């Protein structure tokens, strides 16, 4: 029986598509298996006055992510927002919504926490010999599972044709705007709330925590995020955690960082919202540089091919999943951390963007995927221009600017946008390759299939392997197919 939610009656936004993939662990032979139920969540609603989108990344269960997605909707779409609201009004409404959601969640587990505390006082320490003690211990374990867990959240609101972003944690939002000269300007809105965020580290140090110890630990309460919803252990028992015990007040908070409103008047492009799992999977496969540009290039390529937003978003997620698996299968030492990935969610919302009329899918012949240039620490990534034989939109990706790029629209104030380093040019081409084509052996006719239905290798990668090995100082090139 499928559980019905009151949000099921809300109208879904037709300008949005969502793709997702469950978490995955690769076995010794490369076989993939899901390690836990999906913990991500999302919503995408459209009303007469506004559009509301959210992506949620749960941990230690999906309960918090599910609760937040429903409760946050109630706090924002039941008359709280009005076309007469100023930017300050919207900021205040979003902040209050997150505060109410977290308080409401803890109220739902109050009884379970009280029962848990009562059982802990009754149970003797050590081994539980009696049947009653064992039964109490099992109940205690069940209660712990019921109250554990938390979630990070990123929410986008479009009101009065203005974009607002509210972020708690490590999910990400990218805005891609097509400029008058045909370029795609990629802008990351805000930064992840982690120890690597200097503003977050400063906030925690002002509470009395040692920034050096925080940097060395990396994780806070078992998670990388320094802001999250739920997680009662860290919120209520932080004084019992050695790393956080010196804090003057709660160090891990659910207060959102809000940017906006950015006017969307005359803007053409798309908004991307993604869970941390998608970001980490692509970073594990290709390294952290150029991730934003690469994701935008994938989305632009799929929007140029797919007639459905849902299909475009799902194709990008499947692409990232495949890249992650290929990195693991390569067996390179640098990719040993690709042995697993978490749940992945990607939300694509187009803004005055025309979809292609074609409807090719990856399962149909002729589908061409965008090619990702292998990441290298030795490469100069400040500017990368690539001309490949791809079916790509004739648009260019450029990095965002610090000047005049704030969501508040103040060109003189500090920018909340993260400046992206480098650019990626993707040019539509119908040729087999750029340059002299020496990496490919052309045949006069198509190879014939053998009795098994397979064709012999007809592409020589020897030169590619030689150049790749030389670039990465790995000695002699690996032999290509013969």
Q: Are 344 and 282 in contact (CB under 8 A)?
A: no
CB-CB contact of 91 with 116 (8 Å): no
- To which residue do tokens 């909340």 refer? 416
Q: Across the chain, what does the average pLDDT equal?
A: 79
Query: Contact 79/103 with Cβ under 8 angstroms?
Result: no
Which pair of tokens denotes residue 136?
């109490």
For residue 365, pLDDT beyond 90:
no
Of 426, 116, 155, 135, which is closest to residue 302 (Cα–Cα)?
426
430-448: per-residue pLDDT in tens? 333 333 333 333 334 455 6
Which pTM was predicted?
Answer: 0.75
pLDDT tier, 217 (very low <50, low <70, confident <90, very high otherwise): very high
Pull the structure tokens for residue 411.
Answer: 């060109």
Least confident of 92-106, 198-212, 450-464: 450-464
**Fold (CATH) for 6-108+148-369+384-426:** Phosphatase 2c; domain 1 (3.60.40)
**Where do the domains of the chain lie?**
6-108+148-369+384-426, 437-482
Task: Tell me what pLDDT residue 405 has.
Answer: 39
* CA 116 from centroid of its chain's CA atoms: 34
In sequence order, which residues have a C-beta less than 8 Å from that of residue 117 and are 6 or more positions away?
A: none
Residue 290 burial (CB < 10 Å; 0-12/13-18/19+)? buried
**E strand or H helix at 462, and its extent?**
helix 462-471
Per-residue pLDDT of 272-304, as tens digits, reads 999 999 999 999 998 888 899 999 999 999 999
């Amino acid at each position: 029986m499928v559980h019905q939610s009151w949000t099921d009656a809300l109208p879904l936004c037709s300008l949005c598509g969502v793709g997702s993939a469950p978490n995955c662990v690769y076995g010794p032979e490369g076989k993939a298996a899901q390690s836990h139920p999906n913990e991500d969540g999302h919503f995408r609603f459209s009303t007469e006055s506004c559009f509301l989108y959210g992506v949620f990344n749960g941990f230690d269960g999906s309960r918090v992510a599910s609760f937040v997605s429903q409760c946050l909707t109630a706090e924002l779409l039941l008359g709280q927002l009005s076309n007469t609201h100023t930017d300050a009004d919207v900021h205040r409404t979003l902040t209050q919504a997150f505060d109410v959601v977290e308080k409401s969640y803890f109220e739902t587990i109050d009884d379970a926490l009280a029962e848990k505390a009562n059982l802990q006082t009754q149970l003797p320490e050590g081994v539980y010999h009696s049947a009653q003690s064992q039964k109490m211990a099992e109940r205690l374990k069940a209660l712990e599972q019921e109250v554990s867990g938390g979630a990070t959240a990123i929410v986008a609101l479009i009101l009065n044709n203005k974009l607002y972003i509210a972020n708690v944690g490590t999910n990400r939002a990218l805005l891609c705007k097509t400029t008058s000269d045909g370029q795609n300007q990629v802008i990351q809105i805000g930064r992840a709330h982690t120890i690597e965020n200097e503003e977050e580290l400063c906030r925690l140090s002002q509470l009395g925590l040692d920034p050096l110890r925080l940097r060395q630990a990396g994780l806070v309460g078992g998670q990388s995020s320094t802001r999250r919803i739920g997680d009662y252990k860290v919120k209520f028992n932080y004084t019992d955690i050695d790393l956080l015990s010196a804090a003057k007040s709660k160090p891990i908070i659910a207060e959102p960082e809000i940017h906006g409103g950015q006017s969307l008047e005359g803007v053409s492009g798309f908004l991307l919202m993604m869970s941390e799992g998608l970001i980490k999977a692509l970073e594990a496969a290709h390294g952290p540089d150029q991730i934003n540009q690469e994701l935008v290039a994938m989305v632009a390529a799929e929007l140029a091919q797919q007639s459905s937003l849902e299909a475009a978003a799902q194709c990008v997620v499947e692409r990232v999943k495949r890249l992650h698996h290929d990195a693991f299968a390569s067996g390179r030492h640098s990719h040993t951390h690709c042995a697993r990935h978490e749940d992945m969610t990607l939300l694509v919302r187009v803004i005055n963007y025309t979809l292609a009329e074609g409807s090719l899918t990856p399962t149909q012949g002729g589908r061409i995927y965008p090619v990702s240039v292998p990441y290298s620490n030795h490469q100069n990534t400040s500017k990368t221009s690539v001309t490949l034989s791809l079916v790509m939109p004739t648009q260019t990706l450029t990095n965002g600017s610090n000047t005049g790029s704030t969501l508040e629209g103040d060109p003189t104030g500090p920018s909340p946008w993260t400046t992206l380093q480098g650019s990626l040019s993707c040019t539509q081409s119908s040729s087999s390759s750029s340059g002299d084509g020496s990496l490919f052996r052309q045949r006069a006719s198509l190879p014939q299939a053998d009795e098994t239905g397979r064709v012999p290798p007809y592409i020589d990668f020897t030169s590619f392997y030689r150049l790749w090995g030389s670039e990465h100082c790995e000695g002699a090139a690996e032999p290509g197919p013969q």
